[in-house]
Amino acid sequence: MKSKQRILVLSPHTDDGEIGCGGTIAKFIEEGKDVFYVALSVCEDSIPKNLSKNTLEEEVRKATRILGIKEENLLVYKNRVRSFPAIRQDLLETIIELRDKIKPDLVFIPSLNDVHQDHQVIANEALRAFKTTSSIFCYEEPWNHLNFSTLAFIALDKRHIQKKWNALKCYQSQILQGRPYFTKEFIEGLARIRGTQINSGYAEAFEVLRWILR
């Protein structure tokens, strides 16, 4: 395996990547891996009326900075939320451009079993784009999954989960709406459950679509 790996996190909306693999991002950056984060939508149509349309873009920039992602490794697109099925070919072409530019060794994407329409499109189009070039792991967002096969685990320390939560706290627009997965108890509890499965204090779990060693 390469000692200096390039990692790509595909996040349909701002915050999906941090929720699904924020602890892993923190760990990988700590280890010196080059991590790229791509948010395909800033969900302007979902922002509460009393907040700026740029709120989620500002929040993702703060959150990824806390995780340690370089500013130049963050790409933010403004595709309309819940419109991805209608623009799936355009999204595929965007993902292919990212593949050819970044050349990632490992890609994190939503689960193919995710019921959110935007997440489904990104998962399927990313699989099409990366199936012959990169390892592909699907991250976990339990409230959206019909099922989830925990085939891979990445062991984490408490500091990685704390950094993940510190990043997620940047999303005040989501926390103030009372989303149940935007609590420290949820984030830490799920990490403890996954850690217990591999005799570790904490972990994040992933589905494996491709595992390529070069």
**What pLDDT digit, counting tens, does each position of 150-203 carry?**
999 999 999 999 999 999 999 999 999 999 999 999 999 999 999 999 999 999
pTM exceeds 0.85? yes
Is residue 84, in this structure, part of any structural domain at all? Answer: yes
Evaluate whether 29 touches 57 at the Cβ level (below 8 Å).
no
Is residue 1, in this structure, part of any structural domain at all? Answer: no
Tell me the per-residue pLDDT of 112-122, one tens digit each, with 9 for 90 and over.
999 999 999 99
Is residue 29, in this structure, part of any structural domain at all? Answer: yes
Is residue 71, in this structure, part of any structural domain at all? Answer: yes
Mean pLDDT of 134-157: 97
Tally of domains in the chain: 1
The identity of residue 140, as a single letter, is E
CATH number, position 14: 3.40.50.10320
* pLDDT of residue 68 exceeding 80: yes
- Spell out the residues 6+ positions from residue 189 whose beta carbon is closer than 8 angstroms to its own: none
83 CA to centre of own chain: 19
Is residue 53, in this structure, part of any structural domain at all? Answer: yes
Domain span at residue 200 reads 6-210
